[in-house]
Structure 1
Amino acid sequence: KHNYIYEPVKLNDGSVVVPMFFYIRGGKLHARTCKLNFGVISSSEVNISISWNLNFYSADINEILGEDFLRPYIEIIVSDRIFLATKCRNLLH
């Protein structure tokens, strides 16, 4: 499976984050991620956004092991069994 920066990923704990940086440390893939914000437009649409102007050491960035990634963006299903990509119209604000 492929993951990309600025593309949401679902973690093993069920949360959805956005990788901002990828790196290898100790032979393992790590990511610095930020929280994904959801804004409901209607029952069939949401806006997803992240904080901008974040750097590698920003307080809003968390370190995640790559092995904790459960589903890439195109496989994330949200309410009503609809893909996140469909509900957000493939837009990240």
Structure 2
Amino acid sequence: MVKAIVFPNPSKDAVNVTFESNENRHIKIEIYSITGVLIQTLLDDEIISFRNCTTIFNKNGELASGLYLCKISFGEQYIVKRIILSE
């Protein structure tokens, strides 16, 4: 099982994507625009069983305000979280 939290949300700049798993898995974290365009791949790697891992999206505040989608894929399953960037 994989659990994911995106915070702070909404945010003016950096957003933390924190997830945990109790199994070894291939994890892929992708950020998409609301129109479905891939903006960035944050992680694409095999992860050994762990309790907590964090990656940062929009660290330097370079993306425009708006709604983004964070897709966290693990095996055949995935979670989608909405991210709101505000001015």
TM-score range normalised by the length of the shorter chain: under 0.3
The structure with more strand, counted as a fraction of residues: 2
Q: More relative contact order in 1 or in 2 (CA 8 Å, sep 6+)?
A: 2
Q: TM-score, normalised by structure 1?
A: 0.25
Of structures 1 and 2, the larger Rg is shown by 1
Q: TM-score, normalised by structure 2?
A: 0.26
The structure with more helix, counted as a fraction of residues: 1
